[in-house]
Amino acid sequence: MKFYVLAAILTAVVTFVLAWLVWRFALRFKLYPAIRERDVHRTPTPRLGGVAMFLGVLTAFALSSVVPYFAIFWDNPARNWALLGATLLIVVVGVADDLWDLDWFLKLGAQFLAAWLVVGPGGIQIFYLPIGGITVVSSWISVTVSVLAIVIVMNAVNFIDGLDGLVAGVCLIANAVFFAYTYLLARDFAFSSYSSLAAFIAVVLVAACAGFLPFNWSPAKMFMGDAGALMLGLLMACAAILVTGSLPPQLLADNDVFGRSQLLGAFIPIILPVVVVLLPLLDFAMAVIRRVGKGRSPFSPDRKHLHHRMLDMGHTDRDAVLIFYAWTAVVSLGVLLMYIGTTADWPGLYLPGAGFLLLGVVACIAVTLLPSRRRAAPPKVSA
């Protein structure tokens, strides 16, 4: 655990320092786009925070390559280089879009190329679906499903990037829960080491978000932009595939750890990686259905995202962000507690976990539907 803490501290510090440098650089050379109609902010703000986050992640990977504790996931260096190459590609395209507003078709093509890099050359694929013992036996099906999953998560995370601190905080919470899940999974199945690429990605993303959040908290000095949001989505999807897509379903169904509940043993390991990005996926699905239903491109921008709707209900932007945090924490922690409750060592946590999830969801619904009394003042348009 101490090596994960070291990697997290280094990543957070490097991200924070570089975010300050990028922010000053962007202001110095006026590297920020004009205000768009769908934007919530009214002051031109740099969108290059994703560059600092990427360099923080890159620093962590450089550290891992020389630390013996992390040597286990450097046994296959091609996978790591493919992952970093895909991340670099998506960050470069994201920065270009943040500065010059690229065509959506070009961005989507770059996303598919990045996803293929990690799935094809990198070999990060969904080989098993632990639902009813399904094994993906066809290589082209495995590649197709894996690429689509990565592209969907990338866009889902990017779609909710509309309020100060929203994506950074949601991804921080989600990856913290996912790191705990991967760590417990290694314990429950007696893996040879607690060190894994999926756990490393999760803890590094927590640190990168933590290092960037001071610049992104309302009122934001800088946004992460498409570069940061797409990078987070790419790495989170890959981490989930590295865990869920590589666990043989018979291990989940037959292992004594889940002997008391084969149903939970089959479903929770695949549900948890999904629920940590439940809100982004929900917003993405609603946006695609809404836009396609109107005969528009699913990637055409509008002001109908979940965070926009919460603002229209009367919530302040900061209150809306905190509600998103609450939803993410309640759903992901609730399922994590249910997972822990299925193990022999913590049999008493299943029902409390289910109760926590139920009560938390009810509380979140109540807070979401109850508009804030402190209505935000109309934003001032800068000259």
Dihedral in degrees, nearest 10, Cα atoms 136, 189, 8, 110 = 0
- Token look-up 């020389």 returns 66
- Calpha distance 349→345 (Å, rounded): 10
CB atoms within 10 A of CB 89: 17
Q: Are the C-beta atoms of 181 and 236 separated by less than 8 Å?
A: no
Instruction: Determine the 3-state secondary structure of 370 from DSSP.
Output: coil
Structure tokens, 26: 């962007």
What DSSP element (H or E) covers 134? Answer: strand 134-135
State in Å, rounded, how far the first CA of the chain is from the last one: 51
Q: Is 158 assigned a ligand-binding role in the annotation?
A: yes
List the one residue out of 128, 139, 138, 246 whose CA is nearest residue 182: 246
Dihedral sign for Cα atoms in the order 208, 211, 217, 219 = negative
- Calpha distance 325→92 (Å, rounded): 29
For residue 134, the cross-strand partners are 129
Q: Are the C-beta atoms of 53 and 15 separated by less than 8 Å?
A: yes
Instruction: Determine the 3-state secondary structure of 340 from DSSP.
Output: helix
φ and ψ of 134, to 5 deg: -80, 130
- Calpha distance 13→196 (Å, rounded): 23
Q: Is 226 assigned a ligand-binding role in the annotation?
A: yes
- Calpha distance 277→236 (Å, rounded): 9
- Residue numbering of the annotated binding site: 158, 226
- Residue numbering of the annotated binding site for Mg(2+): 158, 226
